[in-house]
């Protein structure tokens, strides 16, 4: 798959504040790429540089192989959907969507046909004569997307367009937005600070921190194989144990966690006595309560501090004897009495068979 956007050595500062540090990123034609990170990490600045609304202090932006670094927004053939949608309040839905075509002096017959087709695509054909204030948040968002897409951009840029929606509408719009992207076949570059949103919608995720890209990969890559502890902490929940390698063989390594020895798959990059982080996701931990346990080998004792029922899962916070707490997600089954937990109950914690673990060098941040 060819690259539609190539970002080469892009840096940006605002006075003494360095917003972006030598960003290098290739975005593939037709993919859904998400820029993910906390507030202030530079993701919106990078999006605005791609759109042409901000100018980089150094570096190059290529769009379809053409250098557009110094080209104004209206000549880039990309469209930006703003966080607040920026709809024209005095115009109807139809007029908002048709605005770009009218600016290009498109024939009226073609405008009517293309706008009606677009409104049908985003399921707003029945709302054509309404004004923005007569629409729900989700409907306004779809108008903003339709207005951008109707100009047939080769790239659509979206700056946290779902942040103002309630939980259920946001989940529905995530599905609709991804479906729309597939049907249109154009590249979407999406900005969010919501990890779940990024993982559920994206083909690839660029995790940003302090103006840099920490990791670029598929949602599964960044979740299951975070490149450093900072990414592990930011992407979902993670239990992180600081320990050292106590023994190695050709195929395995052993580490000590809470006084117990655990055997993991070996990697040539780790050596005996090396300090490492062990990253374990909550869903890879089992918690045993009321059921009598005869063999506690490889299990850690603890006390239940919190029980959070979520319908299909139960989230637990368990305090181990050392005083540290771990998070564990248990998949709920009404017939499984072992998932009935009480506060302050004594339990045993163990890693699931075949548990997934990520090792990271202690100095990797």
Query: Which pLDDT does position 359 carry in this prediction?
Result: 60
Task: Give the per-residue pLDDT at 355.
Answer: 52
* Rounded distance between C-alpha atoms, residue 34 and residue 197, angstroms: 9
3-state class (DSSP) for residue 287? strand
Q: Compute CA distances 8 → 53, 77, 92, 352, whole Å.
A: 18, 19, 41, 43
| pLDDT at site 206 | 95
As averages over each run of 10 residues, the pLDDT of the chain (365 residues) reads 91 92 94 92 93 92 92 87 82 90 88 89 86 85 85 87 75 82 88 89 94 94 87 87 85 82 74 84 84 76 88 87 89 62 87 59 54
Q: What is the pLDDT of residue 334?
A: 58
Cα–Cα dist 281/276, whole Å = 16
Phi, psi of 326 (to 5 degrees): -125, 150
| Helices 167-184/137-149 angle, 10° precision | 20
Q: Is the pTM of this model over 0.85?
A: no
């Amino acid at each position: 798959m060819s690259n539609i956007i190539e970002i080469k050595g892009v840096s940006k500062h605002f006075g003494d504040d360095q917003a972006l540090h030598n960003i290098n990123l290739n975005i593939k034609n037709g993919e859904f790429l998400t820029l993910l990170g906390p507030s202030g990490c530079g993701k919106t600045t990078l999006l605005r540089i791609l759109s042409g609304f901000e100018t980089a202090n150094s570096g190059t932006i290529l769009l379809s192989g053409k250098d557009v670094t110094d080209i104004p927004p209206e000549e880039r053939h990309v469209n930006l959907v703003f966080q607040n949608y920026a709809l024209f309040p005095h115009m109807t839905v139809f007029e908002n969507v048709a605005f770009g075509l009218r600016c290009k002096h498109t024939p009226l017959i073609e405008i009517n046909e293309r706008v009606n087709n677009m409104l049908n695509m985003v399921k707003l054909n029945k709302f054509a004569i309404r004004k923005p204030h007569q629409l729900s948040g989700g409907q306004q968002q779809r108008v903003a997307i339709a207005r951008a897409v109707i100009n047939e951009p080769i790239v659509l840029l979206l700056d946290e367009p779902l942040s103002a929606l309630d939980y259920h509408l946001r989940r529905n719009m995530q599905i609709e937005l991804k479906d729309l992207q597939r049907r249109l076949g154009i590249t979407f570059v999406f900005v969010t600070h919501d990890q779940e949103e990024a993982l559920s919608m994206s083909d690839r995720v660029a995790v940003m921190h302090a103006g840099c890209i920490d990791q670029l990969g598929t949602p599964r890559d960044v979740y299951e194989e975070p490149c450093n502890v900072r990414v592990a902490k930011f992407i979902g929940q993670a239990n992180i144990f600081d320990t050292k390698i106590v023994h190695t063989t050709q195929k395995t390594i052993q580490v000590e966690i809470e006084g117990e020895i655990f055997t993991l798959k070996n990697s040539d990059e780790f050596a005996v006595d090396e300090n490492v982080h062990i990253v374990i996701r909550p869903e890879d931990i089992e918690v045993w309560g009321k059921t009598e346990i005869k063999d506690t080998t490889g299990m850690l004792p603890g006390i239940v501090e919190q029980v959070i029922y979520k319908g299909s899962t139960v989230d637990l916070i368990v305090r181990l004897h050392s005083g540290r707490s771990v998070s564990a997600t248990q998949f709920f089954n009404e017939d499984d009495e072992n998932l009935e937990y009480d506060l302050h109950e004594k339990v045993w914690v163990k890693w699931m068979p075949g548990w997934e673990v990520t090792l990271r060098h202690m100095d990797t941040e």
